[in-house]
């Protein structure tokens, strides 16, 4: 593997030099006042990225998975009913976590390649007249299939059914790279991590809790210690953590937020759409198809690309790494061996993306796929070029 080449996996993403330097700092006393000068701007910045005015933001030394656990353990009690669709590996893992916590999950099996079925959610919520369902899970961007879902539609389903369940959204591979609106969509807990849109190393679970979610913590009975948001809230009031905070990562986060806000969130999203569209043009030129079943669910942060029947898609990822020193993502779960993934989120330019498409092409030709060298690159160039 080359340390010179960018990575094209959907996390961890490429780290800008400014962020790497910000993470690398001398030890400070995390009980001194300097820590608050890092902590509070970070919490405020995350709230703005979540597009929330009032969310309580908590950042744990963990990963996105710890963010899932924070949502469940702080808001729910054993035996509570949960409504969740399974349309990929990440929604599957969150459901599995619910079950291991003794929650009763009503699973809506959904084709891998489809978005969340808001209409089915509405039917099931309407049918739950006694309001046994306490929370609805929604994976905004299914990183395994490259499928984005319509969270506003899930909110509408809850409202149309007049159902009071909490709405928990996994935004791990969307927040900071695709449009996310915590307040507009009535999201009660938003979950993300540091190593995707925020361009940091892994190591932080980042969550936003609505007022309603904070209220739910008062009666929720699931055991929690490390991920207890009340302990964290009390800590923050004194500019501290209930334990030793990951100061370097938080300082990197401060730089990440400054970079996102200097570029402007809307520009960040437009850049992701533009780069993703170039990738999609390349995929079409190769004569391949996305795992995502229709354009309305195409993800702007990751593309999962189907390879012909009988071909092992994982060979592409192995050869790209071993021969060309470049990282792409393997297929996971149900689509293992059937798709390979190109991550295109975080710190990325058109030019970087062309290098990734160029290598993917060489690898596929090496492996005997019927693809013409330069075809995908040319299609992307056509999309990225600015004309005369």
Ligand X SMILES: *Cc1c(COP(=O)(O)O)cnc(C)c1O
Kindly list the residues in this chain that would bind ligand X in the complex (CB under 6 A): 11, 63-65, 90, 139, 141, 143, 170, 172-173, 193, 202
Q: In angstroms, give the least distance from the CB of 171 to ligand X.
A: 8
CA nearest 151: which of 176, 188, 177? 188
Q: In angstroms, give the least distance from the CB of 174 to ligand X.
A: 8
Instruction: Return the number of other C-beta atoms located less than 10 Å from residue 273's C-beta.
Output: 16
d(CA 267, CA 264): 5
> Closer to ligand X at the Cβ: 255 or 301?
301
> Closer to ligand X at the Cβ: 65 or 312?
65
> Closer to ligand X at the Cβ: 173 or 307?
173
Q: In angstroms, give the least distance from the CB of 321 to ligand X.
A: 19
Nearest position to ligand X, beta carbon: 64
> Closer to ligand X at the Cβ: 155 or 341?
341
> Closer to ligand X at the Cβ: 269 or 384?
269
> Closer to ligand X at the Cβ: 147 or 285?
147
Q: In angstroms, give the least distance from the CB of 146 to ligand X.
A: 11
Q: In angstroms, give the least distance from the CB of 212 to ligand X.
A: 22
> Closer to ligand X at the Cβ: 6 or 11?
11
Q: Is the CB of residue 77 less than 8 Å from the CB of residue 100?
A: no
Q: In angstroms, give the least distance from the CB of 363 to ligand X.
A: 24
Spell out the SS3 assignment of the chain: CCCCCCEECCCCCCCCHHHHHHHCCCCCCCCCHHHHHHHHHHHHHHHHHCCCCCCEEEEEECCHHHHHHHHHHHHCCCCCEEEEEECCHHHHHHHHHHHHCCCEEEEEECCECECCCHHHHHHHHHHCCCCCEEEEEEECEECCCCEECCHHHHHHHHHHCCCCCEEEEECCCCECCECCCCCCCCCCEEEEECCCCCCCCCCEEEEEECHHHHHHCCCCCCCCCCCCHHHHHHHHHCCCCCCCCCHHHHHHHHHHHHHHHHHCHHHHHHHHHHHHHHHHHHHHHCCCEECCCCHHHECCCEEEEECCCCCCCHHHHHHHHHHHCCEEEECCHHHCCCEEEEECCCCCCHHHHHHHHHHHHHHHHHCCCCCCCCHHHHHHHHHHCCCC
> Closer to ligand X at the Cβ: 168 or 236?
168
Q: In angstroms, give the least distance from the CB of 366 to ligand X.
A: 29
> Closer to ligand X at the Cβ: 77 or 202?
202
Tokens 């699931």 sit on residue: 222
Q: In angstroms, give the least distance from the CB of 90 to ligand X.
A: 4
Q: In angstroms, give the least distance from the CB of 299 to ligand X.
A: 10
> Closer to ligand X at the Cβ: 240 or 291?
291
Q: Is the CB of residue 369 less than 8 Å from the CB of residue 279?
A: no
Q: In angstroms, give the least distance from the CB of 230 to ligand X.
A: 23
d(CA 177, CA 206): 15
């Amino acid at each position: 593997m080359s340390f010179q080449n960018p990575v094209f996996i959907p996390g961890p993403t490429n780290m800008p030099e400014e962020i790497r330097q910000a993470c690398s700092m001398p030890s400070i006393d995390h009980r001194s006042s300097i820590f608050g000068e890092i902590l509070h701007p970070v919490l405020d910045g995350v709230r703005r990225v979540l597009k929330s005015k009032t969310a309580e933001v908590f950042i744990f030394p963990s990963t996105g998975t710890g963010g899932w656990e924070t949502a469940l353990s702080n808001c729910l009690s054993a035996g509570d009913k949960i409504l969740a669709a399974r349309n990929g590996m990440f929604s599957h893992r969150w459901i599995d976590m619910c079950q291991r916590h003794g929650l009763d999950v009503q699973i809506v099996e959904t084709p891998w390649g489809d978005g969340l079925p808001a209409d089915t959610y509405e039917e099931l919520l309407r049918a739950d007249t006694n309001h046994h369902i306490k929370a609805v899970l929604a994976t905004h961007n299914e990183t395994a299939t490259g499928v984005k879902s319509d969270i506003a539609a899930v909110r509408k389903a809850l409202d149309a059914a007049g159902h009071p369940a909490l709405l928990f959204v996994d935004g791990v591979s969307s927040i900071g790279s695709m449009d996310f609106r915590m307040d507009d969509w009535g999201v009660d807990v938003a979950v993300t991590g540091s190593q995707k849109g925020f361009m940091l190393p892994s190591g932080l679970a980042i969550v936003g809790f609505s007022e309603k979610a904070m209220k739910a913590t008062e009666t929720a009975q699931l055991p929690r210690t490390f991920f207890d948001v009340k302990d964290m809230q009390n800590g923050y009031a004194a500019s501290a953590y209930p334990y030793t905070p990951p100061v370097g990562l938080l300082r990197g986060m401060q730089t990440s937020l400054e970079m996102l806000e200097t570029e402007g969130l809307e520009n960040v999203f437009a850049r992701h759409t533009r780069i993703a569209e170039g990738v999609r043009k390349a995929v079409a030129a190769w004569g391949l198809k996305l795992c995502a079943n229709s354009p309305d669910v195409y993800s702007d942060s990751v593309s999962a690309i189907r390879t012909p029947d009988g071909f092992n898609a994982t060979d592409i990822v192995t050869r790209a790494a071993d021969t060309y020193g470049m990282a792409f993502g393997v297929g996971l779960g149900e689509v293992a061996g059937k798709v390979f993934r190109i991550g295109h989120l975080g710190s990325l330019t058109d030019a970087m993306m062309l290098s990734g498409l160029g290598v993917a092409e060489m690898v596929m030709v090496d492996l005997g796929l019927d693809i013409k060298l330069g075809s995908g690159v040319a299609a992307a160039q056509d999309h990225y070029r600015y004309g005369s």
